[in-house]
Amino acid sequence: MVEATGIKEIIKPENLVYKKTKIMTDNTLSYCPGCGHGTAHRILAEVIDEEGLQSQTIGVSPVGCSVLLYNYLDVDIQQAAHGRAPAVATAIKRLLPDKFVFTYQGDGDLAAIGTAETIHACNRGENILIIFINNGIYGMTGGQMAPTTLPGMKSSTSPYGRDVKTMGNPLKMTDIVATLPGTYYVTRQSVHTPANVRKTKKAIRKAVQYQKLDKGTCFIEIVSNCPSGWKMTPVQSNKWMEETMFPYYPLGDLKTPEE
Amino acid sequence: MKKELRLMKGNEAVAEAAIRAGADGYFGYPITPQSEILEYLMEANPAKTTGMVVLQAESEVAAINMVYGGAACGKKVMTSSSSPGISLKQEGISYIAGAELPCLIVNVVRGGPGLGTIQPAQSDYFQSVKGGGHGDYHLIVLAPASVQEMADFVDLGFELAFKYRNPVLMLSDGAIGQMMEKVYLSPQKERSTVFPDWATTGKPATRERNIITSLDLDPNGMEMHNHKLQAKYNEIREKEVRYEEFQTEDAEYLLVAYGTSARVSQKAVQLLREQGIKVGLLRPITLFPFPTKRINELAGQVKGILSVEMSAGQMVEDVLLAVNGKVPVKHFGRMGGIVTTPEEVVENLKSKIIGG
């Protein structure tokens, strides 16, 4: 234990090893404790900062837990209708082709109501980055079944577990878009350990470079947790994610450029 | 510069006028009877001349959300569709109204409900004038009655949209969209290179970040926003009413009609006058704001009013509100894609108003 006076001596610029990126605002995040959104926001913000893209960036936030993305990132942001972010981003990029354009969408937004917009933006090869947070549940509305909910998984609208015979199987949108010629770089990552955070950040950085080179759609799925929706502690949720989500949604690149 | 005279379909005139107005983007989806707009723009390929973006979207839903994205960048963007497609766009239109984005939406109306028919109708008045999507909002609604006006209202539509940061809807119909007339086209305007200060174009160090949203989780904030919207609609009601009168000076009876029905009613006025019946026509050019005040004034002069619309009677509700019980008001119109004839208007004025 360090005494209070000792802390003051330690907090000096020369001892600084980490600080909040300037692209993150001072607003308090609205996410539940242990949720992956905050980390995903931070690494996206870090890449925007490190690549000097603040004045070039236009983001599109979805309907879902991250609807208030514009409160947390200090860049120009449009809030889109539920599922429509890829269509919104399409027009932004077509009209302002020199800007860095990204969407940030959850699995209900992207894989259910926004399926058509997602597939067609990817199929046209829109030169945008789609960040897809997949936690297998509708978080904001209180834990309902999503298209990505695993077989047997309980939610408020699948209280006896997802019965694939009547409720369908989990939709692997990332696998689908990887088959489309319009996508250039498709990867599935996570942010639940420092090593995975670094990998995901690297993926975002790659996507930024590819967008500068006008390569087509980059699609990064981040398999994430929802402690509140899953009714688990943050630690339990990360363990469950590793044991149950990753076998169905394996991490790694699905499509990498032939360089 | 001199205006260029061409013979064109209404739909083609909209497309050509959009290029000439310096529009930045058009996002559409095929549907009869308006597909010529997208076809014309694809063939004209303005990307090569003005740099205008033309994109065929995967759905009407995607197209209107592309309009949202482009409009939020401060660009001059538009879409067009016909009735069932406009129904699909209504969610996006509500977001655009809520986020106060300028854009132009063209509806070349066909008969409904459902898939309905591809022939002209005016049964989209309610979904155009009364909001259409969820929430309390209004579009500025322009009703062209000629190919010339379909061209002119593109420029006027963009002007009003940017003046009020509000979506503008051009409410045409399958007859005006498909028919050919001579049209004087304005000279080519340069596309704008300066954008409104609220637009999301990338945040420079010199300003705060721009946020485009229709969300406010604080009900007090949302009510304030609604008050602001209503104040804007009231200003529009005060300043932007447009209408045209035909032989109303000595009229004892009045027809009220817009678009195709106004053209038919103008002929009916002529036929009735030949029979010695003093009738005039008021043609609303803006349906929102509606010429309420002028119709109320005329109600003090005439003995009765017939609202003519190719519908079961939608605009007649606004005529009734304007007249406020001063004189009898009735509706006449054919439905389902059938265009009313002047003779039918004559007959109905006689049976419902004069003899009624």
Is B254 in contact with B281 (CB distance < 8 Å)? yes
pLDDT in tens, A177-213: 999 999 999 999 999 999 999 999 999 999 999 999 9
The CATH number of residue B232's host domain is 3.40.50.970
| B97 belongs to a structural domain | yes
Together in a domain, B141 and B289 = no
Cβ of residue A109 closer than 8 Å to a chain B Cβ = no
With cut-offs at 50, 70 and 90, classify the pLDDT of residue A67: very high
Instruction: Name the β-bridge partners of B55.
Output: B27
For residues A224-252, give the mean pLDDT: 97
Question: Could you give the dihedral angle defined by the CA atoms of residues B135, B137, B143 and B149, in that order, rounded to the nearest 10 degrees?
Answer: -120
Query: How far is B298 from chain A, CA to nearest CA, in Å?
Result: 44
Q: Is the peptide bond before B113 cis (omega within 30 degrees of 0)?
A: yes
pLDDT in tens, A137-164: 999 999 999 999 999 999 999 999 999 9
| B315 belongs to a structural domain | yes
A89/A91 Cα distance (integer angstroms): 5
Together in a domain, B231 and B298 = no
Q: Tell me which chain A residues have a C-beta less than 8 angstroms from the C-beta of B209.
A: 70, 73-77
Answer yes or no: is pLDDT of A216 > 70.
Answer: yes
Q: How many domains does chain B have?
A: 2
Together in a domain, B125 and B270 = no
Together in a domain, B158 and B18 = yes
With cut-offs at 50, 70 and 90, classify the pLDDT of residue A3: low
- Cα dist from B354 to A204, B253, B277, B305, whole Å: 74, 8, 10, 9
B225/B232 Cα distance (integer angstroms): 11
Structure tokens, B122: 């005016």
The CATH number of residue B248's host domain is 3.40.50.920
| B150 belongs to a structural domain | yes
Q: How is residue B341 annotated by DSSP?
A: P
Q: At B163, which helix (H) or strand (E)? A: helix B147-164
Q: What are phi and psi of B305, to 5 degrees?
A: -130, 135
B29/B36 Cα distance (integer angstroms): 11
Low-confidence stretches of chain B (pLDDT < 70) are 1, 356
A195: exposed, middle or buried (Cβ count in 10 Å: 0-12, 13-18, 19+): exposed
Closest-CA residue in chain A for B217?
A68
Closest-CA residue in chain B for A117?
B62
Q: Tell me which chain A residues have a C-beta less than 8 angstroms from the C-beta of B29.
A: none
Q: Is the peptide bond before A33 cis (omega within 30 degrees of 0)?
A: no
3-state secondary structure of B184: strand
Closest-CA residue in chain B for A78?
B212
Together in a domain, B26 and B70 = yes
Taking the CA atoms of B263, B267, B272 and B276 in sequence, report the sign of the dihedral they define: positive
| B214 belongs to a structural domain | no
Q: Tell me which chain A residues have a C-beta less than 8 angstroms from the C-beta of B92.
A: 81, 84
pLDDT of residue A18: 87
A111/A132 Cα distance (integer angstroms): 9
For chain A, give the mean pLDDT. 96
Together in a domain, B18 and B100 = yes
Q: How is residue B213 annotated by DSSP?
A: -
B77/B167 Cα distance (integer angstroms): 10
Q: Mutation test of the interface with chain B: which of A57, A84, A118, A126, choosing the one with the most B Cβ atoms within 10 A?
A: A84
A224/B146 Cα distance (integer angstroms): 57
Together in a domain, B28 and B115 = yes
pLDDT of residue B190: 97
Other CB atoms within 10 A of residue B96 CB: 29
Domain end among B213, B239, B265? B239
pLDDT of residue B342: 98
Together in a domain, B17 and B154 = yes
Structure-model confidence comparison of residues B344 and A2, the more confident one: B344
Domains of chain A: 32-255 (3.40.50.970)
Name residue, tokens 């879902």: A64
B87/B30 Cα distance (integer angstroms): 14
Closest-CA residue in chain A for B212?
A78
Which residues are CB-neighbours of B112 under 8 A, at least 6 positions away? B83, B84, B121, B123, B124
pLDDT in tens, A35-66: 999 999 999 999 999 999 999 999 999 999 99
Cβ of residue A88 closer than 8 Å to a chain B Cβ = yes
Answer yes or no: is pLDDT of A225 > 70.
Answer: yes
The domain in which residue B80 lies consists of 4-191+227-239
| B205 belongs to a structural domain | no
For residues A76-92, give the mean pLDDT: 98
B80/B169 Cα distance (integer angstroms): 9
Cβ of residue A81 closer than 8 Å to a chain B Cβ = yes
Q: Tell me which chain B residues have a C-beta less than 8 angstroms from the C-beta of A90.
A: 55, 62, 66, 69
Cβ of residue A198 closer than 8 Å to a chain B Cβ = no
Query: How far is A188 from chain B, CA to nearest CA, in Å?
Result: 26
Q: For chain A, what is the HEC assignment? A: CCCHHHHHHHCCHHHCCCCCCCCECCCCCCCCCCCCHHHHHHHHHHHHHHCCCHHHEEEEECCCHHHHHHHHECCEEEECCCCCHHHHHHHHHHHCCCCEEEEEEEHHHHHHHCHHHHHHHHHCCCCCEEEEEECCEECCCCCEECCCCCCCCCECCECCCCCHHHHCCCCCHHHHHHCCCCEEEEEEEECCCHHHHHHHHHHHHHHHHHHHCCCCEEEEEEECCCHHHHCCCHHHHHHHHHHHHHHHCCCEEEECCCC
| B70 belongs to a structural domain | yes
B287/B258 Cα distance (integer angstroms): 8
Other CB atoms within 10 A of residue B233 CB: 19
Together in a domain, B187 and B89 = yes
Together in a domain, B172 and B292 = no
Together in a domain, B232 and B267 = no
| B222 belongs to a structural domain | no
pLDDT of residue B356: 66
A41/A71 Cα distance (integer angstroms): 11
Is beta strand B167-173 parallel, antiparallel or unpaired with respect to B103-109? parallel
Together in a domain, B289 and B173 = no
pLDDT of residue B1: 66
| B216 belongs to a structural domain | no
pLDDT of residue A178: 98
Query: How far is A221 from chain B, CA to nearest CA, in Å?
Result: 22
The reply to whether residue B69 touches residue A80, judged by beta carbons under 8 angstroms, is yes
